[in-house]
A and B are shown apart, each in its own frame.
Chain A
Amino acid sequence: MGAAGSKLEKALGDQFPEGERYFGLENFGNTCYCNSVLQALYFCVPFREQLLEYYANNKNIGDAEENLLTCLADLFTQISSQKKKTGVISPKRFVQRLKKQNELFRSYMHQDAHEFLNFLLNELVDILEKEAQASKSDPETSSPSDKLANGPKNGLANGPQKDPLVTWVHRNFQGILTNETRCLRCETVTARDETFFDLSLDIEQNSSITSCLKNFSSTETLNAEDKFFCDKCCSLQEAQKRMKIKKPPHILVIHLKRFKYIEQLGRYKKLSYRVVFPLELKLSNTMEDADSEYSLFAVVVHVGSGPNHGHYVSLVKSHNHWLFFDDENVEMIDESVVQTFFGSAQEYSSNTDHGYILFYESLGTGNKS
């Protein structure tokens, strides 16, 4: 542990970023799904900073009861306040809380990192919304930081949400999709907005994220069994449907659907497809004027050939260095190593380390605030 830490410190030398900490996370028996995502979130700097700031402002209120938010904030505080620059930390309280909260994560079996990320972000939002409601009824304790009004630009114009409280979690991860359906009989376009914290993309062999995103937004025809009920025609009609990104998120999380249910097999199968992801990315299928540009800062990698077993590690970019996190171990890697996690060009390959969740941060300043 000490030796590994000093090795990383030596590798970074005088380039070790001021004030930054690189700590491995102890594994409590198949908790790598959790560790890999926690590292990606820790090095999501705006998320980390806003979590720590929120926690600092609300420490006294939250004193009484422990929840996933306080446990996560505790863990991040613990890491960032370490005297040593590198080492290993135990996320024991967080993992215990997680298992208490959700029975699905209670077993020692292999879990899905994307399920965990999704659960965690929704849970954080729930906690923040409950606290905001509590503080509404009790104005004395309201904190200004979590009640930032939602500007006219990112307002959920015709969304189904009645109470669009925009928390700092939303401000980091939330984007808005518009689901446009055009009735082929009367040509009426029905648009429905949906919010998202991440995009789950179908993948194809030897493709790119750019191509998967294009397919995500490509036009789909609804016909035969799958017709669309047109309000104007008052009947089921053939229609064309497409998804457009109305508001790109500040942090773009892309989940590759590597685990696919194969009907003939009656079970899930891991797709080891080679899907290349660039270090810089633009979303051009948005409804905004400028093409929003993103930079890759974290990759959660699934290691293994099947869906029911395996391991998770993460790659993280911090201060222009790439780091490899494998539970307790932290190593510096060259940027070019990232491309060894694209997947396999052939079905049967010895390479089983595949990028699974990609984290991109917007380079533009317009999306924050």
Chain B
Amino acid sequence: MMMHNGSNGYGNGVMTSASSSTATGTSSSPSATNAQSQALKTYFKTPEGRYKLHYEKTHPPGILPYSHGKSVSQITLAHLKEKSTHSGPAPSTSASASTSSGVRYAAARLLGVGGGNGSRTLSFVGGNGTSKAANGTSRSSTLAGSNGGHSMLNSNYDGKGTYLIFNVGDTLFISDLNSPDKDPIKAIHFSNSNPVCHAFDPEAKDGHDLLIGLSSGDVYSASLRQQLQDVGKKLVGAQHYNKEGSCKEGTGDSSFPVIKDQTQFSVAHARSSKSNPIARWHICQGSINSIAFSTDGGYLATVGRDGYLRVFDYSKEQLIGGGKSYYGALLCCAWSFDGKYILTGGEDDLVTVWSMEDRKVVAWGEGHNSWVSGVAFDSYWSSPTSDGTEENVMYRFGSVGQDTQLLLWDFTMDEIIVPLRRCPPGGSPTFSAGSQSSHWDSICPVGTLQPAPSMRDVPKLSPLVAHRVHSEPLSGVTFTEESILTACREGHVKIWVRPGTSESQSSNSEAIVGTSSKEQPLLPGKTSVSSYKSVHV
């Protein structure tokens, strides 16, 4: 048997023997073990009211459970408009390079196996439904099976609806967001490789509004409506790019030159204007775990294994700034709707708020007990105390972690207490709105990456709410007008309806609500979370 009778390692007390050299901690950790055994609550409280569990979405149990090296579930929301109302050409104000395809997107390469940290590495230019896709040639005439006379989903045949797209193992599932049905309405199997990321753009002009990236590096674009019309279990009418990672270095048919310096950012354009992908951005060494376009499509943010957030001017193909995590890889990133802030989360358990204006970290959110795997701003939320002036904007954002928790945060620059603020002579210490002023440029020149800040130099935020939402580590969070969506790695999605939504919705959620034990919202400075702060003061 094992030697468990010794004092080393197994007891709770602080070691006392001088000859023993293991320091053992106390088991005074705040009730997290208890929390583990507690049942999951079906609501959580915020200052504006209760968020209630409305619907759950999952996949048939026949699917293999998450196993090692397999992909992590990600969620994408898709709003399909009625077909007849499909708009004509959107005003193309984007001056950036036109492509040979009607769809403009960026796919980031996953290096290594699995990329199991919750990566979302595919995005349309202009992520929030405001894409300004360049003019391109339509390929719809070449699509097979577009006249599906065998629809199993006739109610949605040409109709509108909101769909939830998520990947589990080798399958991509599509669920109807507003239906109480737990099960998906459509499953698309991939035989050779797992889907790992996806994106949707309602404005994609050739109708290829759905992008799917596989772990092999393959990228597909297809029409979501067409998938819903088809009864099969295969992707239909899709364009296939980067077959078996053909843009990879060293392959004979690559249309891109060899990367000379792996450590340097470089952009190469395809030799042929007809080929797709049209450009290769070599960003860093190691995997890219997440990318995000700013709302207007002007900027691209990337995070990855090397722990750096990088922000690029997309049309100029230029690195404009970024910085290092406190430590470890970064796993996720998201823009604020006004393009002023970027959130990142990663292996340092921190949620980082990056200011575009200052080009530096302006706050660290402490509250997760494990890696932060998803971050998002709540662009539908407005502060009840907001006076509407630009200087006093309050932001609400959410984060999910591998600790199975959803955290909500409120953030305003006014309330941030900046320690040891270095103010250049003549410079303004205020955080007023506007583009980067020159004095900041002199501190951090364009295109430079900042080192990791020291723990004591960055102001800390405490979460407004901390709620354990799933039993498994989480992989994603999304805000909609009516709800918050949370997803776990295994592909279970929960829809939390906002307070004050219609009675019909809340009565639905009552059906799910089981026990009604109390949960107090965590207020900054009053809870266990604040005890972390004392460590770093």
Q: Is A140 an interface residue (CB 8 A)?
A: no
Contacts of A206 in B (CB 8 A): 36, 369-370, 402-404, 473
Residues from 309 to 344 in A contacting B, C-beta threshold 8 Å: 334-337, 339-340
Contacts of B29 in A (CB 8 A): 202, 204, 215, 218
Q: Is B26 an interface residue (CB 8 A)?
A: yes
Partner of A196, one of B21, B116, B371: B21
In whole angstroms, how far apart are the Cα atoms of A143 and B68 in the complex? 51
Shortest Cβ distance from B18 into A: residue = A160
Contacts of B22 in A (CB 8 A): 114, 118, 196-200, 255
Are the CB atoms of B24 and A280 closer together than 8 Å?
no
Given contacts A199-B23, A204-B33, contact A261 B329 (CB under 8 A): no
Given contacts A110-B1, A112-B3, A285-B535, contact A207 B23 (CB under 8 A): no
Shortest Cβ distance from B31 into A: residue = A204
Q: Is A104 an interface residue (CB 8 A)?
A: yes
In whole angstroms, how far apart are the Cα atoms of A218 and B371 in the complex? 19
Contacts of A282 in B (CB 8 A): 326-327, 348, 455
Most chain B CB within 10 A, of A115, A207, A243, is at: A207
**Segment with Cβ contacts to B, from A2-10, A54-62, A271-279:** A271-279
Partner of A278, one of B27, B348, B531: B348
Residues from 6 to 29 in B contacting A, C-beta threshold 8 Å: 6, 8-10, 12, 14-15, 18-29
Q: How large is the interface on A (under 10, 10 to 19, 20 to 34, 35 or more residues)?
A: 35 or more
Given contacts A291-B454, A336-B115, A340-B69, contact A216 B25 (CB under 8 A): yes
Shortest Cβ distance from B13 into A: residue = A226
In whole angstroms, how far apart are the Cα atoms of A281 and B347 in the complex? 9
Shortest Cβ distance from A104 into B: residue = B3
Given contacts A218-B28, A339-B117, contact A200 B349 (CB under 8 A): no
Residues from 348 to 363 in B contacting A, C-beta threshold 8 Å: 348-349
The proximity string for A residues 258-277 relative to B, scoring 1 for CB distances below 8 Å and 0 otherwise, is 01110000001000001010
Q: Is A154 an interface residue (CB 8 A)?
A: no
Main secondary structure of the interface of A (DSSP, over half): mixed
Contacts of B14 in A (CB 8 A): 179, 194, 243
Q: Is B30 an interface residue (CB 8 A)?
A: yes
In whole angstroms, how far apart are the Cα atoms of A276 and B116 in the complex? 12
Are the CB atoms of A204 and B32 closer together than 8 Å?
yes
Given contacts A118-B20, A198-B23, contact A207 B114 (CB under 8 A): no
Are the CB atoms of A284 and B455 closer together than 8 Å?
yes
Are the CB atoms of A281 and B327 closer together than 8 Å?
yes
Q: Is B328 an interface residue (CB 8 A)?
A: yes
Q: Is A293 an interface residue (CB 8 A)?
A: yes
Minimum C-beta distance from A245 to chain B (A)? 9
Are the CB atoms of B33 and A121 closer together than 8 Å?
no
Residues from 132 to 176 in A contacting B, C-beta threshold 8 Å: 160-161, 173-174
Are the CB atoms of A200 and B1 closer together than 8 Å?
no
The proximity string for B residues 438-479 relative to A, scoring 1 for CB distances below 8 Å and 0 otherwise, is 000000000000000011000000000000000111000000
In whole angstroms, how far apart are the Cα atoms of A30 and B329 in the complex? 37
Are the CB atoms of B328 and A279 closer together than 8 Å?
yes
Residues from 86 to 132 in A contacting B, C-beta threshold 8 Å: 104, 109-112, 114-115, 118, 121-122
Given contacts A200-B9, A218-B29, A334-B113, contact A210 B349 (CB under 8 A): yes
Q: Is B4 an interface residue (CB 8 A)?
A: yes
In whole angstroms, how far apart are the Cα atoms of A174 and B77 in the complex? 52
Contacts of B370 in A (CB 8 A): 206-208, 211, 276
Are the CB atoms of B347 and A220 closer together than 8 Å?
no
Contacts of B12 in A (CB 8 A): 202
Are the CB atoms of A279 and B8 closer together than 8 Å?
no
Contacts of A218 in B (CB 8 A): 28-30, 531, 535
Q: Is B421 an interface residue (CB 8 A)?
A: no
Are the CB atoms of A204 and B328 closer together than 8 Å?
no
Minimum C-beta distance from A364 to chain B (A)? 13
In the complex, 20 of the A-B residue pairs with CB atoms within 8 angstroms, ordered by the A residue number, are A114-B8, A115-B8, A194-B14, A198-B23, A200-B23, A201-B25, A205-B33, A207-B370, A218-B531, A219-B534, A257-B24, A268-B4, A276-B402, A278-B348, A280-B327, A282-B455, A291-B326, A334-B113, A339-B117, A351-B67
